[in-house]
Structure 1
Amino acid sequence: MTTIGLIINPMAGRDIRRLVAAASLQSAPEKMLTARRLLSGMAAVPDTEVVMVNDYEGFGRYALHELGELLPVRLVAAEKEPSNGASTTDWARRLQDEGARVVVSVGGDGTQRNVAQAGLRIPMLPIAGGTNNVACWTGDQTAAGFAAALYAVRGDDPLLVGRQAKLIHVQLDNGHEELALIDAALVRQTYTGALAVWRPEDVEQLFLSMADPVRPGLSNVGGFFQPTYADDDVALHLTLGDETMGQRPVLAVMAPGLVVPFYVKASATVDLNSPVVWSRPQGGSVALDGERTVVLRPDEPVSLRVERDGPFVLDPQKILAAPTQF
């Protein structure tokens, strides 16, 4: 039996940005339709099973009882508290320990960041299910499920059917390190609050592993200066100003239906492993993959660098382009 781990983030696609933009909430029924499409693709490969965590919100139980006719669903480790970012990281490790050969994760960039924090030895296949989905597969979910099962049963080299992701390493003054997949932002607020960042006047600096001009989020700002993609061995650093500086604004898509102006003072490409240091005299916070995560004291330095040492990320297009043998 070939085992595939499946994570559905119950909170993905429900942040405050969807209230200030023209975006609908990612409802529980829509997420389960995503799960049905994924499992339908996986079921095309014989002797495949799905393992999920028995989460507090009940997605695992729903999959077991409603989707079990498609292929075997196995639940592990019943949760007694609501899900959060830390639990997503823990789930990824549990699924690997349960024998999964790949972890399929449904959520946005924040969810995929949490999975990347698990330091998995097995690849991941991130499926778009959040507000910002730069790190995610946005193609057909049935094809993605089929590709995940084919990879698991064939044992392809992940570098031939995917890539090793870049990671933004955020080193704090106390020695603690945080990680991001797509973007880190130096933000004026000295609190985390509702986490999500969407107002341009809040952001002073951006450090991007990817700068995509067609996908929403802070990454979109850099996409108009220097499009930077997953295979590019560089990062992008932007310094931002405001409308008083006499510069023309860059219009960026921050969320579905939300276009806002950013005033960019400077932009530069940064080689992998080359550090960038930030600090603010008044203090502030660092947002990782669109969410304020770390609060900084006045003048507290934070060092950032991008390395290609992240998880292996599968590409369904490359998997399905290979001869289908199982």
Structure 2
Amino acid sequence: MRSSQNSDEVCVGIIANPVSARDIRRVIANASNLQIAERVSIVLRLMSTLKSLGVGRVLVMPDKAGIRALLNRHLQRERPDADLFPAVEFLDMDVTSTVEDTFTAARLMRRRGVRALIVLGGDGTHRAVVREVADVPIAGLSTGTNNAFPELREPTLVAMAVALHATGRIPAEHALAWNKLLEVSIDGPNGSRRDIALVDAVISTERCIGARAVWKTDQLTAAYLTFADPTAIGLSAIGGLLMPVDRREPRGLAVQLASDGHAKRLDLRAPIAPGMLLDVPISSWTAMPPDEPFEVRHAGGIVALDGERELPFDSGERVRLTLRVNAFPTVDIPRSLHFAARQGLLHTVS
């Protein structure tokens, strides 16, 4: 069970969003909220597992919401001879309590040579990490509101797979999965803008960003999806209940919503937020082949990326969405642990 790398050289990053799952959808849907103490408990479980499997150092994103303070309190109570956790370092960076913290932390961790990034957050947090460091494997833990991209897993299992890959015991071809994303481009007389979505890019007729979270379906005209899972919650559920598309399929899904009764083909009742099923008027849907731009027909509005309003556009601007496959790697937890079992990587000999 020995690591093939010197444990002091093996470094993993942890980005824990302290405010994921606190948007307006949680309020209107009466959904639960993950408190700071539980987020710290998750990080502690991650770190103790990483240490036991040979990861010697962990870089952590600092925050002002209480994760760093409570985590330090736990670490200071550890006995000097216990050796339960890796060496922990909080990044030296200015904390703004905005998404810029995630951008900055991801870049710094990549620069410091982390073998993988463990991300605690929702779709938006994972999107922010991938936007900055699409070449570093990430392992996601769902702590957001509508979590289509990160899956619900026990942190211990996530850390086991990450540690076995980071220490070289599971090679990339067995540990990693490649994921799709949507490239969004807006071109107009005032220049060009580019961004990405990991799960869904949705077109809204609204003209101001306001509350960033999207949940009112009567203001939506189209949804473009990298995958469509009928067991998901959120805007991607619209596609999942029309035509399921697997995460690994080399295609996406484009759904047009009906703006009037004449164009409507059917009404779809979809779980837009926890505990909230809404009727969505559907006009049509079609598969999205990779690398083929889809042009938005609506003249002016906002593009919401992974459930949050991000990109307003005017009638004179051209909006296109393109599916990219094999865009970034994630640690495939089930596949990694099946490989570990078959290879006896966790066997000990007495």
Distance 1:99 1:279, change over 3 A: same
Distance 1:79 1:90, change over 3 A: closer
Aligned to 1:18: 26
Pairwise mapping of residues 83-232 of structure 1 onto structure 2 (< 5 A)?
83-154=97-168, 156-173=170-187, 174-232=191-249
- The answer to whether the 8 A contact 1:4-1:103 is kept is yes
Aligned to 2:318: 301
Structure 1, unmatched stretches of 5+, are none
Q: 1:270 aligns with which of 274, 279, 288?
A: 288
Distance in 1, matches of 2:38 and 2:275, equals: 20
Counterpart residue identity of residue 63, structure 2: D
Number of residues paired by the alignment?
Answer: 325
Aligned to 1:310: 327
Distance 1:262 1:176, change over 3 A: same
- The answer to whether the 8 A contact 1:43-1:146 is kept is no
Distance in 2, matches of 1:255 and 1:222, equals: 15
Distance in 2, matches of 1:38 and 1:116, equals: 21
| TM-superposition CA deviations, 1:129-167 (whole Å, max 9, x none) | 101211113122211111111111125333422312111
Distance 1:43 1:218, change over 3 A: same
Distance in 2, matches of 1:48 and 1:73, equals: 6
Structure 2, unmatched stretches of 5+, are 1-7, 79-83
TM-score, normalised relative to structure 2: 0.87
| TM-superposition CA deviations, 1:164-185 (whole Å, max 9, x none) | 2111000111322111100000
Distance 1:47 1:184, change over 3 A: closer
Percent identity, please: 28
Query: What is the deviation of 1:209?
Result: 0.2
Q: What is the SS of the residue equivalent to 1:294?
A: strand
- After TM superposition, the structure 1 stretch with the greater mean CA deviation from structure 2, 314-323 or 200-209, is 314-323
Q: 1:56 aligns with which of 53, 56, 64?
A: 64
- The answer to whether the 8 A contact 1:190-1:295 is kept is yes
Larger Rg: 2
Query: What is the deviation of 1:84?
Result: 1.8
Counterpart residue identity of residue 311, structure 2: V
Query: What is the deviation of 1:264?
Result: 0.8
| TM-superposition CA deviations, 1:51-82 (whole Å, max 9, x none) | 11333334234334414743124224344443
Distance in 2, matches of 1:153 and 1:170, equals: 36
TM-score, normalised relative to structure 1: 0.93
